[in-house]
Structure 1
Amino acid sequence: MEQRIKSWRQVGFIAFTAVFFLIILSMISMSRGTSSGLGFGHSSKIPLRILPLGDSTTRGGPDDRFNAYRPALRNMLIGSGQSIHYIGSLKHGDSLDNDHEGHAGLLIKEIRRAIADDDILLQHPNVILLHVGTNDMNTYFGQPPVDPFEEAPQRLNTLVEAVLCECPDAVLLVAKIIDNTQFPQLVQTYNSGVEIIVAHWQAQGYKVRVADHSAIGGWDISFPYRDDEPILTCISYSTDLSGDGLHPQNVGYEKMARVWFDTMQDLPTDWIQPLRDASLMSTPECRAKLLS
């Protein structure tokens, strides 16, 4: 009998210990849930001042009435309870909020100098959406590139460094750029460098994330069959792209908006900071990084 009591006591102790640890693990899990995954929880009360930064993909084109992804993303954010305002030195499109910083045709280094000229970073956005590099990959109708393809990630890194110098508290989402039909291999190589750059700046304590748009665009390849045998390989532009095989059309922009939105949903809740007043001028250090 005494041995049986001891056994029951041991079982009870083990059960109590197991329940205790389950409770602790549950509390840890709940704690982690509040510190990672924006879900527009407590930070939904913080207004978003978003800078769409890039080239013609950010600006938009005739197929989308020069709205790009901006209205679709705005609707998603407002629908989730966010207050949002786009900023930029440029205005295109027929949407309610059409400011942006999409410099059509410019290379990465030219975009860096453009934002130095217009001082848009002095407005201190708390979210920056960066999609650049397509023009750096362009062969310009068979002519040599303006800058070496393989050095494009370094040019991106220089731009990221300049942006973070001026806006160190901002969330910077750096895009793996959309695919296209003109130079897909170059785009893939460029995109492989994006994660390395983002990881570097994350390690320095900056709030930088990859927004992966690389599945958007490119070619659609299908294999029709007859009697279980392929009869033809059908290759066409992705329906994400306009007729030039380079720029998105509405379907592609809807997907881009979703990528931006989903990436923001996964941010830690303390990354979105309250808005800051605009600055009158850049620091000499940051100015030098923009103009280097």
Structure 2
Amino acid sequence: MARLCLIWVFALLWTLVTAKSLPNLRILTLGDSITKGNGSGGNPNGYRSRLRGLLVQAGAQVDMIGTLKTGTMADNDHEGHSGKTIKTIATKWQKPIVAKPNLILIHAGTNNMDLNEDLDTAPTLYANMLDGMFNEYNDVVILVVPVIYSKKAHLNKNREAFNAKLQTIVKQRQDKGKHIHITAVDITDADLSDEKHPNIQGYNKFADAFFAGINRVNDKEWLVAPAKIDYDAYPDVGLGRRGQ
């Protein structure tokens, strides 16, 4: 275990040292209670605080956007809607997209897999959501985390089938030249605060996986500086003055 931890630390340090310089980032984090940060303690920052810190440490100016605010972190805007399934989450990007984020981070589908809701249509709902984002703002880069492991057997069975389809959905859009990338998070029982929400250790894994994924798409030269916008025109989507 200690050896694995050392390998993980060295991999993260190598990413920090060797990564191409990041542009400024205007980031929309989208999903359910795992995006919000449930399970990460009394001040649910989830993965967002650590990820933001890693990006700032790497030299990026960061503005996290969204219509919700949760946690004690600075710049705590997000679109993590507790208890919601993909059908609802697939509508929640439509307001903050006007701020033209250059990066969208998505983890959605846990509640579908847990509640056995829309299992047949969830992949299509997800695919349509991605297409809607690209149709609205073609320059956006999207990072997708497949539905993470849980302690519930039925959820895991459902997520395995869904995640296989998600891989195909992402590959199809990559083949069309869309800037979308899958970054997996290896969650185990030790990383969970309950049956399906990460604990601090699990959220740290989330942050590190997203950070590595962001550097990977940046190395591909997908990321560009955020578009110039009129900040005063969009007062309710969490815009700050950092990732500009």
Quick one: which of 259, 266, 270 aligns to 2:216?
A: 266
Question: 257-266 or 107-116, which moves further after superposition?
Answer: 107-116
Q: Higher relative contact order at CA 8 Å, sep ≥6: structure 1 or structure 2?
A: 2
* Aligned amino acid, residue 170 of structure 1: V
Structure 2 residue 53 is matched with structure 1 residue 75: yes
CA deviation map 1:39-76 (0-9, x unaligned): 542x52x2101111111100012533211100111111
In the TM superposition, what is the alpha-carbon distance from 1:255 to its structure 2 partner? 0.3
Quick one: which of 32, 55, 80 aligns to 1:55?
A: 32
Q: Please name the residue that 1:7 is paired with.
A: none
Structure 2 residue 73 is matched with structure 1 residue 101: no
* Aligned amino acid, residue 216 of structure 1: I
- 2: distance between equivalents of 1:122 and 1:172? 16
Note if contact 1:54-1:131 (Cα within 8 Å) is conserved in structure 2: yes
Question: 56-65 or 79-88, which moves further after superposition?
Answer: 56-65
Q: Please name the residue that 1:115 is paired with.
A: 93
Note if contact 1:39-1:266 (Cα within 8 Å) is conserved in structure 2: no
- 2: distance between equivalents of 1:192 and 1:172? 18
> Which sections of structure 1, spanning at least 5 residues, go unmatched?
1-37, 140-144, 218-237, 282-292
CA-atom RMSD, angstroms? 1.9
Q: Secondary structure at the match of 2:133?
A: helix
Q: Please name the residue that 2:207 is paired with.
A: 257
In the TM superposition, what is the alpha-carbon distance from 1:194 to its structure 2 partner? 1.5
Note if contact 1:173-1:211 (Cα within 8 Å) is conserved in structure 2: yes
* Aligned amino acid, residue 187 of structure 2: I
Quick one: which of 275, 283, 291 aligns to 2:226?
A: 275
Which aligned pairs between 1:227-238 and structure 2 lie closer than 5 A?
Answer: 238=189
Quick one: which of 181, 188, 193 aligns to 2:165?
A: 193
- 1: distance between equivalents of 2:63 and 2:180? 20
Larger radius of gyration: 1
- 2: distance between equivalents of 1:109 and 1:126? 23
Q: Please name the residue that 2:187 is paired with.
A: 216
* Aligned amino acid, residue 208 of structure 2: R
Quick one: which of 100, 103, 106 aligns to 1:124?
A: 100
CA deviation map 1:142-164 (0-9, x unaligned): xxx342x1332111111111111
Note if contact 2:79-2:92 (Cα within 8 Å) is conserved in structure 1: no
- 1: distance between equivalents of 2:127 and 2:214? 21
Q: Please name the residue that 2:131 is paired with.
A: 161
> Which sections of structure 2, spanning at least 5 residues, go unmatched?
1-16, 235-244
Distance of aligned partners of 1:51 and 1:194 in 2 relative to their CA distance in 1, 3 Å threshold = same
- 2: distance between equivalents of 1:206 and 1:84? 23
Q: Secondary structure at the match of 2:90?
A: helix
Note if contact 1:175-1:194 (Cα within 8 Å) is conserved in structure 2: no
Distance of aligned partners of 1:61 and 1:115 in 2 relative to their CA distance in 1, 3 Å threshold = same
* Aligned amino acid, residue 209 of structure 1: H
Q: Secondary structure at the match of 2:28?
A: strand
- 2: distance between equivalents of 1:97 and 1:40? 24
Identity %: 33
Q: Secondary structure at the match of 1:164?
A: helix
